A and B are shown apart, each in its own frame.
Chain A
Amino acid sequence: MADAAPLPRVRRRRVAPQAHRSNALHPGAWWLWALGLATAASRTTNPLLIGLLIGVAGYVVAARRTSAPWARSYGAFVKLALVVIGIRLVFAIVLGSPIPGTHLIVTLPEVPLPDWAQGVRIGGRVTAEGVVFALYDGVRLAGLLICLGAANALASPARLLKSLPGALYEVGVAVVVAMTFAPNLIADVQRLRSARRLRGRPDRGVRGLLQVGLPVLEGALERSVALAAAMDARGFGRTAAVPARVRRTTAVLTLGGLMGVCAGTYGLLTADGTTYGLPVLGIGTAAALGGLWLGGRRSVRTRYRPDRWGWRAWLVAGSGAAVAALMIAANSGDAGALHPGVVPLIAPELPLLPAAAVLIGLLPAFVAPVPPPAEAPVRERHRPRTPRTPCTPRVPRTSRTSRTSRTSRTEENPS
C-alpha cells in the first residue's frame, strides 16, 4: 500500500469532518462570524481591506455552503451590493458631493433651483475626489451586505429559529413563514404572467404585471390560510396551563424590563444621566430576560436535535469576533491607513497588520464541517414548485382550500 494515499484523508478528517445533522455548526456561530466581518468592514473605508474582507467571506461561502435553497441567496446579495455601489456613484455624480476637489472630470449642466432649495444641487462639477469618496463609501456598504449574505447562505434560517427562546418561538415562525412566501409569490407571478399568453394577451410589460396582481394576492392568501390550518391541525400553538400568578409576573417583568431598557439607554445617551444609565439598563435587560424565560413556561414545545454549540462553533464565532476586535484596535492606532484620504487624492495602501487580521476570518473554511457531496444540486425535474410555466405540475392547489373565502357555493351535479 502506498503511504501517501491515506495521509491526506486522515488530515482532512482531523481538520474538518463531513457535515451531518449531529455535528452541524450552530447557525448562531455563522451569524456571529459574519457580524464580526461586517463590523470590521464598517470600521474602514480602505477599498483594499474591504475587498480582502469580501474575498474572505466569499471563499468561506464557496468552501462551506450547501446546495439548500437558502444557500443560493448569496448570489442575490452580491448583485444587490453591486447595485448599491452603482446607486451611490450615480447620486454622487448627479447630486454633487460635499468633498472639495480640484481634479475635474466633467461638468454636467446644472439645473437651476429656487432659493428655498438652497444647498441642494443637481448637475454641476464632477470631481475625481468626489467620485472616489463615493466609491469608497459604496464599497463599504457593499462589504456589509455581502457579509450578511454570507451568513444567510451558510446558516439555515429555520435552524436558527430553533435556538430562539420558547417565548419568542411563535414570532420566529411568522418571520420564517413570511420569508418562504416571497419565493412562492414570485413563482406565482411568473406562472400567471405566462398564463396571459394563453389568453392571447401580451405576457410582458408592466400592465401584464399589474393585471395578475389580484390573482397572485388571492393565491398567497389562500396558501397562508391552508398553512395555518395545517399548522393548527399539527398542534401549533398548544399551551400549557400556567398559574395566573406566573402569567402576571411574566407580563410585569417583560413590560417593566423593556421600560428599564428604554430609560437606561436614554440615560446613557444624555450627558447628565450617565450615573444612573448603566445600572437601569442592566436591571431592565435582566427583567426582560426573566420575563422571556418565564413566558417560555407557557410553551409545551420541545426541540428535536437542536444544534450544539461545540468547540468548532467557538472557533468560527471567535474568528469573526477577532477580526472585528483587531480592526477596532487598529482604528485607534493607525487610523490613517484604514481611511485613505481623498483630498489630496492618493492611492490607498494595504496596511499589513489589519490585513493579516482580516485573514483570521478564513478560519471557518478549515474548521467548519464540510457539506457532504451527496448534497450536490438536485436535478431540476425533482422540484415541482420551482417557477416554471403555467402548465407546470404545480401540485394541486384546489379550491377546497378556499372554502372559507367562498361566499356562495354552487357545486356541479352529476347528470
Chain B
Amino acid sequence: MTMIRFEDVSVRYEGTAGPTVRGVDLSVPEGELVLLVGPSGVGKSTLLGTVSGLVPHFTGGTLRGRVTVAGRDTRTHKPRELADVVGTVGQDPLAHFVTDTVEDELAYGMESLGLAPDVMRRRVEETLDLLGLADLRDRPISTLSGGQQQRVAIGSVLTPHPRVLVLDEPTSALDPAAAEEVLAVLQRLVHDLGTTVLMAEHRLERVVQYADQVLLIAAPGEPPVLGDPAALMAVSPVYPPVVDLGRLAGADPLPLTVRDARRRTAGLRERLARVEVPAGAGVPPGSGGVGAGAPAGADGAGPAVRVERLAVRRGRVEALRHVDLTVAPGETVALMGRNGAGKSTLLSTLVGLLAPASGSARVGSAVPHRMPPRELIRHVGLVPQEPRDLLYADTVAAECAAADGDADAAPGSCRALVAELLPGIADDTHPRDLSEGQRLALALAIVLTARPPLLLLDEPTRGLDYGAKARLVTVLRGLAARGHAIVLATHDVELAAELAHRVVILADGEVVADGPTADVVVASPSFAPQVTKVLAPQPWLTATQVRGALRAAEGETP
C-alpha cells in the first residue's frame, strides 16, 4: 500500500532563481525505511518538510503538484491536522521539546489530539519500554544526554501512533554509540510496527545499511530517483567509505555493510596483502597547497601544546582530571570520546576560556587564560562547533575587514584566505546565506588571519556532506604540512582516520588512550573506521589510502 505519494511536486521559495526541488513523482510504500541521500543544498529538508506539511504551510514558498500522506492531501491539511499520521523530528531535538519532563513530553502530542486518558497512559508506558526510557521518565529533559534527548524526541512523535516518521539528520550530533542506539530503535519501529520512515542523513556510513530504499537527489534541481540502495550507491555523488572500497574492488552489487564488504572484497584483501601499508596514516603524498603561510610562532622548537596534569572544574563537576597531552608543530591530533567526555572543555581551556583548577596548559610559551584576547589569537585559534558564533558582520567583505583589524594583519589578508578556501564567494554575500561548509571555511579563514601556530576545531564535520568534508581535509592537511599544529574534537571516525596523526580518547574527563591513529582506532570496535573493519587485520584506515597504495603498486608492476 502506498503511504506517501508525490505527484509531480516542485517547491520554490520566494527570491530564488529556480525551484529548490522539482520533478518529484514517486510513491513510498508502507513499512519501508527510505533514506534520502544527496549533497547538501539539494533540498532534502524541503522534501521532508512537504511530507509533514510544514512546507509550504509554515515555511512559505510555492508547492506545485500534490503530496498525499495516508490519503490526506497536504495542501488542504495543515501540519496540525496531519499530526496523527506524520511524526516529525527536526535536526535539533531541543527545538522540538514543549514540556519539561520526559513523561509529559511523550504525552504532549496525544494530549493535543485529544486521546482518552487511559489510552495515553498505556501508550506512554509502551513507548518508555520501546525506547528504553523507563528509568528517565521523571527526569527534566534538559538534564539528558544527546542520545537520550534524540530518543525522547522520537518517542514523543511515536505515541500518537503515526504511520509515517520523518527524520532530518537524527544522528549527526551523536557519538557513534548513541547513534547506534537511535538507529536500533528506528529499525525496530520499521520491523515490528510497520512504520514508514523517511530520513535524511549525511553520515551514510551509519545509516545506509538500514535503508530498504534510497531516494537520491544527485544535484540541485534534479528529479529524485527512488531505488535499491546498492544500485543507487553506484551512481550517487555521496557515498560512505564502505561503498568507496566496494567500487575500488569492483564489487557488484556494491556492499553496504562491513559484513558484505568483507565477503565481496576478498580479492582486494589479497592484492593489498602484497602491498606495503604506508607509514604515518592519513598523510597524503603531495598535500594541497592551501594555507596561511607559515604560522607565526612555528620557528620555535618546543611543542605547540603542552598540557600537564590538567584538571578543570565546571561548578562542582570535575570536567577534566589529570590530563597530559603534548602536540608537536605540524601534528594533527583527534580528540574522541562520547558526548560530555570533556573534549570541548579541553579545547576551551586551550583558548583560555576556562582556567585550570590545577596543573598547567601551555600553548607554545603562552598561558592562554592569562592572555588578553588580542594577544591570544596570535597563539591559538578555535573554530567553535557553531561557526556562526564567530560571525557578526552583514557581508563577507566586512567580516574579513574586521578580522584584519582584530589580528593587525595587512588589509586584504583575510579576504585572500577566503578566496583560497572558498573560491567564488562574492564580497557582498551575507554569512547567513552560506551553506554549513562555506560558513565553516569562512570562520576558518577568519581564525587563520592571525596565523596562530595552533588551530583547534570543535566538531567540524557536523552538517557537512562528503564533498565539503573532503575539501576540509585537504585544507587542514595543507595547514599541517606548513607547521600548524591542529587539534580537532570529533565524533566522526572517518574524519579522524583521514586526517589525524594521533588519536586521543577521553572518557569521563580522563585520557584513556593516546597513540598513533592506526594503533588506537584499529584496537577499538566503536572508533574503527569502516575501511579498517573491512580490511582487518591489515591496518588500512581510509579508502584514499588504499587507492593510493594500489595505484603505486600498479605503477611498479604494470
Assess the A198–B344 pair: CB atoms within 8 A: no
CA distance in complex: A399, B434 (Å): 9
CA distance in complex: A240, B81 (Å): 11
The 8 A CB mask of B332-360 against A (1 = contact, 0 = none) is 00000001111011011001111000000
User: A109 at interface (Cβ–Cβ under 8 A)?
Assistant: no
CA distance in complex: A396, B315 (Å): 24
CA distance in complex: A215, B347 (Å): 23
The 8 A CB mask of B358-401 against A (1 = contact, 0 = none) is 00000000000000111011000110111011101000000000
Tally chain A residues at the interface, Cβ within 8 Å. Answer: 83
CA distance in complex: A229, B89 (Å): 11
Assess the A198–B435 pair: CB atoms within 8 A: no
Assess the B389–A191 pair: CB atoms within 8 A: yes
Assess the A393–B459 pair: CB atoms within 8 A: yes
Assess the A410–B434 pair: CB atoms within 8 A: yes
Assess the B139–A391 pair: CB atoms within 8 A: no
- Chain B residue at minimum C-beta to C-beta distance from A180: B100
Assess the B317–A379 pair: CB atoms within 8 A: yes
User: A269 at interface (Cβ–Cβ under 8 A)?
Assistant: no
Q: A21-B138, A384-B339 in contact; A197/B107 too (CB < 8 A)?
A: no
Assess the A389–B353 pair: CB atoms within 8 A: yes
- Chain B residue at minimum C-beta to C-beta distance from A214: B392
Assess the A197–B96 pair: CB atoms within 8 A: no
User: B52 at interface (Cβ–Cβ under 8 A)?
Assistant: yes
CA distance in complex: A410, B424 (Å): 11
Partner of A411, one of B41, B81, B157, B168: B41
Assess the B98–A227 pair: CB atoms within 8 A: yes
- Chain B residue at minimum C-beta to C-beta distance from A223: B95
Assess the B390–A391 pair: CB atoms within 8 A: no
Among A196, A304, A394, chain B packs the most CB atoms within 10 A around the CB of: A304
User: B432 at interface (Cβ–Cβ under 8 A)?
Assistant: yes
CA distance in complex: A413, B220 (Å): 8
User: B500 at interface (Cβ–Cβ under 8 A)?
Assistant: no
Q: Which residues of A contact B116 (CB under 8 A)?
A: 302
The 8 A CB mask of B209-250 against A (1 = contact, 0 = none) is 000000000011000000000000000011000000000000
Q: A379-B317, A408-B15, A414-B467 in contact; A235/B112 too (CB < 8 A)?
A: yes
User: A118 at interface (Cβ–Cβ under 8 A)?
Assistant: no
Q: Which residues of A contact B381 (CB under 8 A)?
A: 198
CA distance in complex: A195, B93 (Å): 24
A65 to chain B, nearest CB (A): 13
Q: Which residues of chain A from 273 to 316 have any CB-CB distance to chain B below 8 Å in the complex?
A: 300-305
User: A238 at interface (Cβ–Cβ under 8 A)?
Assistant: yes
Assess the A233–B83 pair: CB atoms within 8 A: yes
Q: Which residues of chain B from 300 to 322 have any CB-CB distance to chain A below 8 Å in the complex?
A: 314-317, 319
Assess the B91–A403 pair: CB atoms within 8 A: no
Q: Which residues of B contact A399 (CB under 8 A)?
A: 388, 432, 435-436, 439
- Chain B residue at minimum C-beta to C-beta distance from A238: B80
B321 to chain A, nearest CB (A): 12
User: B330 at interface (Cβ–Cβ under 8 A)?
Assistant: no
Interface segment out of the listed B142-150, B518-526, B540-548, B550-558 = B142-150
CA distance in complex: A187, B398 (Å): 27
Assess the B156–A382 pair: CB atoms within 8 A: no
Assess the A398–B112 pair: CB atoms within 8 A: no
User: A95 at interface (Cβ–Cβ under 8 A)?
Assistant: no
Q: Which residues of B contact A390 (CB under 8 A)?
A: 348, 353, 382, 384, 386, 389
User: B140 at interface (Cβ–Cβ under 8 A)?
Assistant: yes
Q: Which residues of B contact A232 (CB under 8 A)?
A: 54, 57-58, 78-80
Assess the B99–A384 pair: CB atoms within 8 A: no
Q: A198-B390, A302-B114, A393-B339 in contact; A407/B92 too (CB < 8 A)?
A: no
- Chain B residue at minimum C-beta to C-beta distance from A397: B92
A37 to chain B, nearest CB (A): 26
Assess the B353–A230 pair: CB atoms within 8 A: no
Q: Which residues of A contact B196 (CB under 8 A)?
A: none
Assess the B124–A304 pair: CB atoms within 8 A: yes
User: B10 at interface (Cβ–Cβ under 8 A)?
Assistant: no
Assess the A412–B433 pair: CB atoms within 8 A: no
User: B104 at interface (Cβ–Cβ under 8 A)?
Assistant: yes
Assess the B376–A380 pair: CB atoms within 8 A: no
User: B111 at interface (Cβ–Cβ under 8 A)?
Assistant: yes
Q: Which residues of A contact B430 (CB under 8 A)?
A: 408
Partner of A383, one of B142, B157, B446: B142
User: A202 at interface (Cβ–Cβ under 8 A)?
Assistant: yes
Assess the A233–B348 pair: CB atoms within 8 A: no
Q: Which residues of B contact A394 (CB under 8 A)?
A: 385-386
Assess the B314–A388 pair: CB atoms within 8 A: yes
Interface pairs A-B: 10 shortest CB-CB: A411-B41, A235-B83, A414-B467, A235-B112, A304-B107, A300-B114, A226-B95, A381-B340, A380-B317, A200-B377
Given A158-B101, A305-B121, A389-B345, 5 new contacts (CB under 8 A) = A229-B90, A234-B156, A235-B83, A304-B110, A394-B386
What are 29 residue pairs bridging A and B, where the CB atoms are less than 8 Å apart in the complex? Answer: A195-B389, A195-B390, A197-B351, A199-B373, A199-B403, A215-B389, A232-B80, A233-B52, A233-B86, A240-B114, A302-B111, A304-B120, A305-B107, A305-B121, A382-B143, A384-B339, A386-B142, A389-B345, A390-B382, A390-B386, A390-B389, A391-B384, A394-B385, A398-B463, A401-B92, A403-B45, A410-B433, A412-B41, A415-B467
